[in-house]
Structure 1
């Protein structure tokens, strides 16, 4: 375990930052180096705010929040914190910090960190392991509290080694987005077999495709097929189900998709085809909605269909934005109360209405269910699986991306690609231990 902790620290000092908040995923793993000068690294990871800290409220108790919220999205959040500060006689300092999870790794142990870290759940495991964040169980926030207030997928994302480490904010998952001018709700395929059959008659390359997505080599997008087959891509102990028969069947489906889509089906290609009215359906996430609406596309959302080989609906990754309590928080009780407020139904519903984010709070979901876009992502997230919180998540990207690309291009059979992907993943995990 000591060796693992050292490795994690070195990886983090190289600036690794993973997130499921953007389309796509890392394709390479960072290299560790024992030649890093600790003093220089500490200086490099000292938070350098992109703007002056925003301070709201003037009470005697100060709560410092490190975050990555920006633009109009942040404006609504700042107003939420300002209201809380005024009502509770506290002062809240909001500091925009790039690579916030990485920079907390040195700042928190040295006593220069915040009270609260706002990030995404895929960094929860390594942050907990290196004692950058502390469990909330001692502050009366346990699993039963989360399940009473938040969607199950959000609750699952907050738990690491049996302890609760965060309050969920919002959810992000990829779903089927369709152009209502090109396909009606009744015509949408209900299973992957039906999807493939419809595509065979619908497609008229290169001007007309039924379905596209970032398919050529991206495990983030492909996770819905694997997880529908029951494949656990990264387990908490650093093992994987990739390599078993179910993962081979998922790769066989991806191979069939390669026969109905352009050969270069990366994110940009798929996105352009949908925007240009040349694809009726795309698998994409909430980050794309504004662009599609700006193009004047009348879009609808529907969950990823049933994967015929398993009889289970497609199960994409769900990235869960959250607030975490820093290990050396100067005002932990006050910070936890603020976190609970931020997770409340009223706050999350308000942020959903303004920012169009998908609330994690169950009551808030009911309050905004009349918004068809938000409702669509809520329905999809219910079928999804949280992004792995394991400290070994970094070992996933390169091996599994290569595995998918090998099948897509025909460089390897599904059986060989699955075996190779599992072996490369195991080697990368071993390197981290």
Structure 2
């Protein structure tokens, strides 16, 4: 506790002494996550005498609510948590405080570098990451007792399981979020980065050779390997896995509770590399804490943000909910949990979804492009992707 007290107070000295004015937090957390946040708020108040008021706001309402009410002084001091890909519009709208000043060398040394990148916008840290999330290969160990060591093994096992009643490997193939793994791993990308690491909206990689190669691989899943038939979407694949009729699925940690409730025994792992050493890394998301630029209690609020992102708090959250910590120390401490460890391994080299507002123009055109590409074996992949890229650029 002494070490934690020193750390929190060290951040406070950047802005002045801690003042017990009380802070307000908007959160979309529920159930175990909300209970964790309530306990952390009570502990923070007990340690520093700063009351924390938690207000439930639905995730889909937070961004617009903050953009409209923050300049009027009517928004919460903190948002706990928010997906990193939503920060661009809020940062450019001037309602997020730059939290770079709270990121000491020790804090940054312990922070997952991809999580740091996710909350960096125009070279500034606009939030403190809490946990990371993203898809991995989830294996039904009753159907697949020996996990595939290579991509080729995965395909062979999946083909061997696929018959009238059982499927070997399925996922929401028409969803660009999930299918980005094949694009990224072949050299495709959404937006490039400049020398400083900032995303460049004008550098679009959605129709380059790597993206074409990734899309051609998706066609192979359907037309060459015979694994993912027309009509398979998230609900179909997820439902078959829950029913014990699917050997492997590419899905995220949010699905694990339903699989456990259904009695499915699972192993979580990265999509295995090819025999010649090609690795597969897809998108990742990061959830973190935002500080209102117009907060009248920014010191107390920033200290509470720091409090609930400390390693000990992340360990508790991980043990309660299976969240994958953004703190390297916390991640190591919970690495004995095979589910957390499996997702952490799958996300070790994943790519944060772009956090610039222009990303909003990508999802629709690329989703439509994948539908067209997967519609028939003779689809003209380069032409379809060029059309999608032109649509993104024109929006």
TM-score (norm 2): 0.87
Aligned to 1:109: 71
Residue 165 (structure 2) aligned to one of 207, 211, 229: 207
Residue in structure 1 matching 2:25, options 35, 42, 65: 65
Equivalent-residue separation in structure 2 for 1:238 and 1:308 (angstroms) = 35
Return the alpha-carbon distance in structure 1 between the equivalents of residues 362 and 325 of structure 2.
27
Pair 1:86-2:46 in alignment? yes
Question: Using the alignment, how far apart are the partners of 2:302 and 2:216 within structure 1?
Answer: 47
How do residues 178-197 of structure 1 correspond to structure 2 at under 5 angstroms? 178-185=139-146, 187-191=147-151, 193-197=152-156
1:405 counterpart SS class: helix
Give me the whole-angstrom Cα distance separating, in 1, the residues matched to 2:119 and 2:364: 25
Work out which of the residue numbers 254, 259, 282 in structure 1 matches 2:218. Answer: 254
C-alpha deviations, 1:377-433, integer Å up to 9, x for none? 1111212111211111111110110111111112832212211121111112xxxxx
Structure 1 runs not aligned, ≥5 long: 1-58, 429-433
Equivalent residue number for residue 129 of structure 1: 92
- Structure 1 position 233, deviation (Å): 1.5
- Cα distance in 2 for partners of 1:367, 1:120 equals 24
1:17 matched residue in structure 2: none
Partner-residue secondary structure (3-state), 1:132: coil
* CA distance in structure 1 between the aligned counterparts of 2:156 and 2:320, rounded to whole angstroms: 40
- Segments of structure 2 that go 5 or more residues without pairing to the other structure are 1-18, 193-198
Aligned equivalents of 2:96, 2:159: Cα separation in 1:
51
So what's the TM-score if we normalise by structure 1? 0.80
Per the TM alignment, residue 194 of structure 1 is displaced from its structure 2 partner at its CA by 4.0
2:115 equivalent to 1:168: no
Corresponding residue of 1:237: 200
Query: May I ask how many residue pairs the two structures share in their alignment?
Result: 363
Question: Is contact 2:148–2:157 with CA below 8 Å preserved after alignment?
Answer: no
Q: How do 1:393-412 residues align onto structure 2 when only pairs under 5 Å count?
A: 393-410=359-376, 412=379
Q: Find the aligned partners of 2:308 and 2:339 in 1 and give their Cα distance.
A: 22
SS at match of 2:285: strand
SS of 1:95 mapped into structure 2 = strand
Structure 2 Cα separation of the partners of residues 73 and 82 of structure 1: 14
Give the alignment partner of residue 158 of structure 1, picking from 119, 126, 129: 119
Instruction: Judge conservation of contact 1:76–1:355 (CA < 8 Å) in 2.
Output: no
**What does the per-residue CA deviation read over 1:118-157, in whole Å, with 9 as the maximum and x for residues that have no partner?**
21101111111111102112x3426x55531211111111
- Displacement, 1:195? 3.2
The corresponding residue for 1:227 is 184
Q: Pairwise mapping of residues 318-397 of structure 1 onto structure 2 (< 5 A)?
A: 318-397=284-363
- Looking at structure 2, the residues matched to 234 and 303 of structure 1 have their Cα atoms a distance apart, in angstroms, of 24
Q: CA deviation at 1:277?
A: 2.0
CA distance in 2, matches of 1:122, 1:189: 33
Alignment partners' CA distance in 2, 1:183 and 1:413 = 35
> Aligned residue for 2:392?
425
